[in-house]
Amino acid sequence: MAVMTAAASGAGQQRSFREVWVISLGHALTHWYPATFYLLLPLIGKELGLDYAQIGSILTAQYVAGAIANVPGGILVDTVGRKGLLMAISLCWIGIPYLLMGESHAYWMMLGCATLVGIGNNLWHPTAIPWLADRFPSRKGLVMAFHGMGANVGDAVAPLVIGVLLQSFNWRTVVTMNVLPGIAVAAFILMYVGRLQMADVRAGIAKAKPAALGGVQRLRMLGELLRNRALVTLAVGAAFRSMTQSALLTFLPLYLARMMGYPTSWIGACMFALQAAGFIAAPIAGYCSDKVGRRQIIMSSMSMTAVVIGFMIFAGGTGWFVLLVALLGFFLFAVRAVLQAWLLDATPPGMGGSAIGLLFGTQAVGQALGPVCAGIVADHYGLMAAFYFLAGTIVMANLLVFVTPSNLREEPQVVRLD
């Protein structure tokens, strides 16, 4: 039996918060690329002559690959333990397929590259999130919020920057230019995390390496996760929330471009407003969840998301629609970090990577179904009908959060592997 003693809460409090900023920067890049692609989709669809369902299926391929890769990826993270290397690999794995998309003229090639992106993108979360939670155990909620804000930065700034670049360059040139930041940040994270690990060794606070476990033991541990009711309901609820998010990010630019006639720069600005509001909401939601509880924050945010989507349906084609987009972002993206913190609270010791992998695996299923289902609805009943679909999915997410058990244990300080 191997015993791994986690760093004490006091040690976690003494750590430099610079670690959070660096990892959050990497998280921003993992969201920068998909956020860029959402803005490029109308141009790609027009050039390749794709219908709504085909446009949605490109993102579906990405999310299906992520759903399949997440759980094995989480187990791999718990086994390998070289977090800096895995985060660097994830960033490179995301950027290079987008570069290949810029050279492609075939629909099937777009599907293949999107599949590769899904695998690489979803390796990041099982690596980075448990690593940060472990290094800051007494400030886990706040750290998850700042890590989530990194995602909002990438999601918000990318459409704004790319929308401006598309005024001067074609979409293929923009995709090529987009790869360089990810490679640079990947190299920096690899060196930075390596230095931190060496510093921990010198200070005598490094963890013991986990004992090697066989395939049967790994499957038994995964089975324990699947029998955890709180974890399962949170993961499935997060999947419905992700279905809402992915379909919204896919069809909101299409609505603004085709129904409201906005140029790409204005579409980018609208997507920026959506994500910027979520950036503001993340630390507020994280702080409040530590004070009043995770359930209350998640349910109130998801309920307001459904209400705002309802108002968007009635405000379609008017200036109010754009204003409601920003309000939607505030509530929709506020709960992302809170869900992660709640899930880690419910996770048995030593299984953080696998639990986060399971969470993002179910979310990827929702992300995969969202665009193509909304696309089918739009093809049959019109583009505005897709927003009715979104309202229904967020209501389902709220119902699942409502039935999640409340008796969750505190963050463990000692991890035992038998």
Task: Give the tens place of pLDDT for each residue, 273-322.
Answer: 877 777 777 788 877 877 777 777 887 887 887 788 778 777 766 667 76
Q: Which long-range contacts (CB under 8 A, 24 or more apart) does 95-104 make?
A: 95/29, 95/33, 95/178, 95/179, 95/182, 95/183, 96/179, 98/33, 98/36, 98/37, 98/175, 98/178, 98/179, 99/175, 99/176, 99/178, 99/179, 101/175, 102/171, 102/172, 102/173, 102/175, 102/176, 103/172
Token pair for residue 192? 């930075």
Residue from 293, 418, 275 nearest 345 by CA: 293
Q: At what angle do helices 336-345 and 229-258 cross, to 10 degrees?
A: 170
Pick 7-402's CATH classification: 1.10.3720.10, 1.20.1250.20, 3.30.420.10, 3.40.190.10. 1.20.1250.20
The amino acid sitting at 107 is Y
Count of beta carbons in the 10 Å neighbourhood of residue 168: 8
pTM of the model: 0.68
Using an 8 Å Cβ cutoff, are 162 and 174 in contact? yes
Q: What is the pLDDT of residue 1?
A: 33
The three-class DSSP label of residue 336 is helix
| C-alpha distances in Å from residue 357, one per residue of 155, 298, 353 | 21, 21, 6
**Cα dist. 27→31, 376, 399 in Å?**
7, 31, 29
Contact, 265 vs 167, CB < 8 A? Answer: yes
Residue boundaries of the structural domains of the chain: 7-402
Residue 6: predicted pLDDT: 38
Amino acid in position 289:
S
Count of C-beta atoms within a 10 Å radius of residue 167:
10
Please state, in angstroms and rounded to a whole number, the distance separating the CA atoms of residues 34 and 242.
14
CA distances from 75 to 69, 81, 144 (A): 10, 10, 21
pLDDT at position 401: 75
Residues of the chain with pLDDT under 50: 1-13, 408-418
How many residues are there in the chain? Answer: 418
Helix, strand counts (H, E) of the chain: 16, 2
Residue 204: predicted pLDDT: 59
Q: Which two tokens stand for residue 127?
A: 């690596």
* Phi, psi of 129, deg, nearest 5: -65, -50
